[in-house]
Structure 1
Amino acid sequence: MKKIFLYSSIVLTAFVSSCREIDDNISPNNVDPSEISPRQTLTAAQNLVMTAQAGTLNSLSNVWTNTWAGNYYYFGNPLTREYSLDISNTFGAGIWTSSYTAANNLQGIIDKGAGLPLHSAIARILKAYQLQYVVDFYGDAPYSEAFKGQSNLTPRYDDDAAIYRSLVEEINKAIADINATTQNGDNVVTPQEDVIFGGDMDNWEKFAKNVKLKILLRQSKVTDPAVRAFVDAQLQTLATGNTADFYLGDVIINPGYSNKNSATPNPLFSNYGAVNFQGSALNTNGWRLYKAAQYYANSVNGTLYGSATGDYRGSQMFRRATSSASPAPQAPSSVVGIKQGGAKPAGSTEWQYSFLGWKFIGTTFNEKLPVATPPSPNPDQGNQAIYAMIFQGDTSGGAYIAEVGAAMDGYLALGSENKLLLAEAATLYPSIFTFSAQSAYNSAVADSFDFYGLLPARATNYLAALNNTTVGWAGAPNKIAAIQYQRFASLANLRQVETYINFLKTGYPAIPNAENAIYPNKPYRLIYPISEYTGNSANVPNVSQAQVFVKNQFTPFWNQN
């Protein structure tokens, strides 16, 4: 972890200097991070969390849920290791590195936040939010001795169950501090400092409960008596019959994303958008690298589970190229995907398959808004003339797409994701969460349709038709299977990490491997990055490739049963 601790403060300082003025008594030419107040660092730390979520964590989850496929028409042999499951200590390291970079900066706020308990509370919540994924992808990890900077460059590894417990305790401390702090004078978080909830501590407390609930639900299969007792006791602290006790909407972050320069776009758009910032050059390593995978496409276009499952969200998330814009959403049947690891069909072209859509291509038609011609400068004021995407390399609309896409919001959770979490809670623990699981599920689907600009009637009709299929609330083998299918359908592109981790736990939906996979199942974890084996060799567990594909002592504790 040596490299993380050496450079994370540099990254933070650079971001802070571009977002907020430094205290007057600190030289802007030689900033000592230890002298920077949490007031100046909170925005940067929040953005580092979004950056971590938008990187390898997101792309790998979309590939391993068979949502994305590589564009083998433009790239010779894309996603070879992701498809084949050739996991090693050089694979997926971005998840580890970006998570610890974000957590290290959040810990800095906590360490310096004794006089600013609300800032510290926000940092604790986000630290728990991000480090949960480290446990989910790696199991045991540095925690109690981590974040010490130069004083400890080789931290020991903590038991993953103990880390999960500590994360819950961090959230409990954050909630207690929020409730104990009177918001006045210095004890106020301003909208300029908090680019997620604008300093609304009621929303932070509700979101803290979401994160705590997610950590606890991950452990629903654990049978260890000590872990079980802690989880059961903590679930009781969240007991309610009212879903409004949790945060139900989208968790949005936007510190001022724009196409001003290469550092300012939303990291999701930088990674996966159609064009590069400020110009019309195609983002070939983002938007053109990834296409809809056949499994996801066939799930939402009505092929795999029957025509009743045709899902208009799919054609908003993934768009076919057209030579002219059409002021209407594309039909679900228009979603066409590439088979992961399959052979290229003879005579086919890349334009027959769906690209990433929605804001990654500038804008997607919104049924709830009027058509605006010529394009409105504000995408929320009406639909744009550029509905489809760049057609076969035509970049004439690139500057406009860059302007809209670079400024898009980031999402740390979607409203549909939050409501599906509550549906899961009420399904697994109905005596603790006494609200209706089905109502939360229905509300999640309606929320997702609304998020993608579709009329409420489409969600109503979809839910009614879905009930007669094996992935609907009434027709699925169990309610968790129905919830998981909606995670899969709803969270594509933005938050598919939750689908993947829960797939490892539940086996739903029945996601196939790529045709060229060398193992019969997805890995239950990743191998620690090579930086740990070279810089922290005395502490890092030695995990082999074969061991990540079977359940054993190295599997994250919540999935060992």
Structure 2
Amino acid sequence: MKIFSRALMAVALTAAVTGCKTFLDINTNPNQPTSVTPDAILATALATTAANYTGSNPSTGVSYNSYASFAADYWAKSGTVSGFSEERTYNYSSTYYQGLWSGTYGNLNNYNLIQQSGTANGYPNHAAIARIMKVYNFLLLVDEYGDIPYTNALQAAGNTAPSYDKASDIYKDFIVQLKGAVADINAAAAVTGARTVGSEDIVFQGNMTKWKQFANSLLLRILLRESQTTDATINASVATEMMALQSAADGFIKTDVVVQPGYAANSNQQNPFYDRYGFSVGLTAPTTEYSFVMPTGYVIRQDTLNADPRISQLYNTGKSPGYGATTYVGANAGEGTSPTFIPTNDIVGSRFLQGGTFLLGPNAPTVLMLLSEHLLSKAEAETRNLMAGGQAAAKTDYLNGIEASFLSTYRDAVTAPGTIAGATTATPGVVQYNTYIAANTTNPLVNYELAATNGSLGKQSVILYQKYLAENTVASTEAWNDYRRAAQPKIEISLQAGSNPFPKRLFYPQTEVNTNLSNIPTGTTQFTKIFWDVVD
């Protein structure tokens, strides 16, 4: 597939918006930009991003979080299936997860269409949303591939073999685009006759202040990602932008950012992660992939080590040799004989809890950004003096970040978690959070005051450790990026990796090799670092 001559349009709109009989369709002829208006395809684009990020795009069958859940040592292969050789050996190929590339560029084509049409036809807020989401999606590509087509991308038949831009240069433009999108939203308020955003916005329901807050939080993610390079110019830019961002007029996100197009327990309408790793329509039987993956022993040990009550919302218990009763059982990454899910076998491993955090239900929303990620990122910026406030502000954001994780973990299938400011002991997750903090007063992996300024249990390390726990499976992509950036926490390498270290990136996909070989950077392997990956 030539990613610049064909867009993949996964239609995921509520019946009220589209009236379509099917929930996810593929439109293979998007080359008539004047035939659609931005409000008609915005929900399509947003729902496709959700499917690409977690679950799977119906046209590619892959997602970023599925890849990253193995790479970040959250998931291992269960004993009920063979395969997963790339995950166990780190011997990647150009076909491994290649659908991420085509699925993301297809999605970007949709946003590009919205931006161009919105700007030209009186939909300035739709155009600004698309501008923000283009950064969100291009960031996913840069962080997994490095240099990519950017400046000359998305030109359809006008350029089917675009040149590649340097990853660090693309990062510079991300800052320009996000700040520009916020300015566009502010300017749109004064535009006479500008179309407002309505129910087609399946993220914020037309609340443009929240879109500006999301843009600011996304900018924080970007700046923190490149904050440990050895490039003096980049470091100076990060310092300047961080301080400016801290005083941004609209602030940052206050809750998890989620996509909710109207997921339902009907064929082709279920939450994409639930549909792939959960249960079939009507809860009649688990999907095939439900039994293929299981938690790693590493992530299970972190939860049990810290008496973390969140584990009860994540996994079923199972049996393992040497245990007289059921307990939480994971598999070591690359383990030769992994625990199985056969009920009659005494080696029964844990799996995703039906009705728990990962499999809340077929109607649960899809997360694009966790509030816990944002708050813990802000805490890291403060403890490293990239933002003002020092250790006092860092500790507050650190504790609020952990609490936000508990609110997400214990929320119900329909209601999005509330704000930290409005949480009480009646809010699901607050009591469990208080119990967790009280049980770990002497634990430097939890108690911020006990974490040294530097060292293996330094404050940055402890913040990233808690962030890792919060992002389990729901936002594995961000945990994987943080590990490559800062080498924290000390996750475990696969037992079958041989002499291979952790991978650093994905190969350029075979589809791109077939159509744009002359422009692909040479000499890259899965061990070639992205420019911001400088800490081992």
Q: Same fold (TM over 0.5)?
A: yes
* Cα distance change on mapping 1:17 and 1:344 into 2, 3 Å: closer
* Cα distance change on mapping 1:441 and 1:188 into 2, 3 Å: farther
CA contact (8 A) 1:216 1:235 kept: yes
Question: How far did residue 464 of structure 1 move?
Answer: 3.8
CA contact (8 A) 2:94 2:509 kept: yes
Structure 1 residue corresponding to 2:482, chosen from 494, 497, 502: 502
CA contact (8 A) 1:206 1:247 kept: yes
Amino acid at match of 2:286: L
1:319 aligned partner = 316
Between the aligned partners of 1:500 and 1:432, the Cα distance in structure 2 is 27
Between the aligned partners of 2:236 and 2:533, the Cα distance in structure 1 is 17
Question: How far did residue 89 of structure 1 move?
Answer: 0.9
* Cα distance change on mapping 1:29 and 1:525 into 2, 3 Å: closer
2:90 aligned partner = 85
2:116 aligned partner = 111
SS at match of 1:534: helix
The one-character-per-residue Cα deviations of 1:75-128 (angstroms, maximum 9, x if unpaired) are 1x2422111101121112132222222222111111112121111111111111
* Cα distance change on mapping 1:178 and 1:291 into 2, 3 Å: same
The one-character-per-residue Cα deviations of 1:294-329 (angstroms, maximum 9, x if unpaired) are 111111112xxxxxx11111221112269xxxxxxx
2:296 aligned partner = 293
TM-score, normalising length from structure 1?
Answer: 0.80
Amino acid at match of 1:20: V
SS at match of 2:91: coil
Runs of 4 or more above 3 Å deviation: 14-22, 28-33, 183-186, 188-191, 345-351, 430-435, 464-467
Between the aligned partners of 2:158 and 2:28, the Cα distance in structure 1 is 25
Between the aligned partners of 1:237 and 1:32, the Cα distance in structure 2 is 40
Q: Does 1:356 align with 2:352?
A: yes
SS at match of 1:247: coil
2:498 aligned partner = 518
Matched residue count: 485
CA contact (8 A) 2:485 2:534 kept: no
SS at match of 2:507: coil
The one-character-per-residue Cα deviations of 1:465-513 (angstroms, maximum 9, x if unpaired) are 4352342323442111111111221111211111111011111110011
Which residues of 2 match residues 458-497 of structure 1 at below 5 A? Answer: 458-472=432-446, 473-476=448-451, 477-497=457-477
SS at match of 1:411: strand
Structure 1 residue corresponding to 2:186, chosen from 172, 179, 182: 179
Between the aligned partners of 1:277 and 1:350, the Cα distance in structure 2 is 30
Question: How far did residue 33 of structure 1 move?
Answer: 3.9
* Cα distance change on mapping 1:529 and 1:346 into 2, 3 Å: closer
2:430 aligned partner = 456
CA contact (8 A) 1:16 1:40 kept: no
1:132 aligned partner = 139
Between the aligned partners of 1:491 and 1:40, the Cα distance in structure 2 is 32
CA contact (8 A) 2:228 2:235 kept: no
Between the aligned partners of 2:299 and 2:13, the Cα distance in structure 1 is 40
1:255 aligned partner = 261
Q: Which moved more, 1:516-525 or 1:527-536?
A: 516-525
Which residues of 2 match residues 215-234 of structure 1 at below 5 A? Answer: 215-234=222-241
* Cα distance change on mapping 1:171 and 1:300 into 2, 3 Å: same
SS at match of 2:3: helix
TM-score, normalising length from structure 2?
Answer: 0.84
Structure 2 residue corresponding to 1:336, chosen from 325, 329, 338: 329
Question: How far did residue 188 of structure 1 move?
Answer: 4.5
Amino acid at match of 2:108: A
Q: Which runs of 5+ in 1 are unaligned?
A: 23-27, 303-308, 323-332, 366-388, 390-400
Q: Which moved more, 1:247-256 or 1:312-321?
A: 312-321
CA contact (8 A) 2:333 2:494 kept: yes
Between the aligned partners of 2:151 and 2:116, the Cα distance in structure 1 is 14
Amino acid at match of 1:4: I
1:414 aligned partner = 370
1:50 aligned partner = 50
Amino acid at match of 1:296: V
Question: How far did residue 558 of structure 1 move?
Answer: 1.3
The one-character-per-residue Cα deviations of 1:215-247 (angstroms, maximum 9, x if unpaired) are 1111111232332333233223212399x8211
* Cα distance change on mapping 1:259 and 1:543 into 2, 3 Å: farther
Q: RMSD across aligned C-alpha pairs, in angstroms?
A: 2.9
Between the aligned partners of 1:19 and 1:258, the Cα distance in structure 2 is 14
CA contact (8 A) 2:145 2:507 kept: yes
Amino acid at match of 2:335: G
1:237 aligned partner = 244
Between the aligned partners of 1:122 and 1:345, the Cα distance in structure 2 is 45
The one-character-per-residue Cα deviations of 1:229-287 (angstroms, maximum 9, x if unpaired) are 33233223212399x8211311011111113222x2111112221x22245132012x2
Amino acid at match of 1:283: T
SS at match of 1:142: coil
CA contact (8 A) 2:271 2:363 kept: yes
Between the aligned partners of 1:157 and 1:419, the Cα distance in structure 2 is 34
SS at match of 1:558: coil
CA contact (8 A) 1:426 1:432 kept: yes
2:398 aligned partner = 441
SS at match of 1:502: helix
